[in-house]
Amino acid sequence: MQKKGCPYGTHRVIEPEGMLPQAALKINNDFTDIYSNEILCDVTTLNIDSASFTVIKERTGGDKNKIARIMLDIVHQSGKHQNPWTGSGGMFIGRVLKIGEALKGKTDLEEGDCIVSLVSLSLTPLHIDKIINIHMKKDHVDIKGKAVLFESGIWSKLPPDLPESLSLAVLDVAGAPAQVRRLVKPDDTVAVIGARGKSGLLCCYEAKKCAGEGGRIIAIDHREEGRADMDEAPFIDDVIIAPADRALDLWKKVEVLTERKLCDVVISAVSRENCEMGAIMITKKGGKVYFFSMATSFTKAALGAEGIGKDIDMLIGNGYCEGHAELSLNIMRESSYLRTLYTKRYV
């Protein structure tokens, strides 16, 4: 008979005791026996979150062998893939090998189903037998390995009408456009920083859908390369090219564009450090900033807003909200522009 573990996975924490798996330094990734409320998966692909993969590439000079070594070392030392510099992880595609006794019949999941994990690799017990390939431009890593999902873990079956790699790319950032739906109101002026990125374009699309024809969607990116992806998007009204870590320069450009009114909602989806103040300064008094980036320093954001006397609401990016997976996959079904672009990038 299988033992039952904590729904939140604390039974796999090795050190320090009493921590949840995400905050733990080391967790148990021995899958000889799983607990009755766990799901064991064969893992084929890891999607490393953008901030994490950017740091790893920079530290290795983009050398695939060095990237593989860092990833293997991370998992060997901690039992999970939690980037030591960003604290973030990613997600996986896998096939269900075994469902614990306590969970059988309680979900519509069956052994053999292909799923995408919707919880971070930074808390997911993972064992990598072999790294097969690294897709540098997609942040995807093909592996042979296994992982466990806890009872509280969320997942999505792979949709039959979309390619696997496309679904993985979209579901990796599903929380962002879903949260945009909650924040943006009709006629709002919305700025998306990092707008050309994977989450950025999805946020622009959903923002326009919520703001409507009376709203204004401003796409902000730090370089001219790839500007056409934003210029040609039918749901983007204006494009600004400006580094988000040059807060004053960005603020001046947005002031001119909005005739000093600034933005009702700002979405920061940029995977670089020191971009907090750029997002804060272009938000109008009483507006909202949503930080959907693991590169965000919430100390810098809080103290920086205080330092310039900015009375705004600042929200921490939550990768989960109810219905986020289906909402994001539906964007691929609704927008032929985004589906074509994302297929070119990620498939």
pLDDT for 310 beyond 90: yes
pLDDT at 317: 86
Q: What is the pLDDT of residues 5-43, one digit of tens each?
A: 999 999 999 999 899 999 999 999 999 999 999 999 999
Q: Which residue has the higher pLDDT, 137 or 68?
A: 68
| Residue 322 near residue 346, CB atoms below 8 Å | no
Closest listed residue to residue 144, CA positions, set 49, 59, 85, 75: 75
pLDDT for 314 beyond 90: yes
pLDDT at 106: 85
Mean pLDDT score, 268-289: 95
Residues contacting residue 14 through CB under 8 Å, at least 6 positions apart: 24, 25, 26, 27, 28, 79
- Helix (H) or strand (E) run with residue 300 in it: helix 298-307
Mean pLDDT score, 273-291: 97
pLDDT at 184: 98
Backbone angles phi, psi at 87, to 5 degrees: 80, 0
Cα 45 to Cα 110: distance, rounded to the nearest angstrom: 20
The CATH 3.40.50.720 domain(s) of the chain lie at 175-346
Cα 5 to Cα 43: distance, rounded to the nearest angstrom: 22
User: 175-346 belongs to which CATH class?
Assistant: alpha beta
pLDDT at 303: 97
pLDDT for 271 beyond 90: no
Cα 53 to Cα 182: distance, rounded to the nearest angstrom: 28
pLDDT for 51 beyond 90: no
pLDDT for 138 beyond 90: no
pLDDT at 319: 85
| Residue 53 near residue 68, CB atoms below 8 Å | no
Mean pLDDT score, 305-317: 96
Q: How would you classify the pairing of strands 26-27 and 189-193?
A: unpaired
Cα 322 to Cα 175: distance, rounded to the nearest angstrom: 9
Locate 264 and state its tokens.
């009702």
pLDDT for 347 beyond 90: no
Mean pLDDT score, 138-145: 94
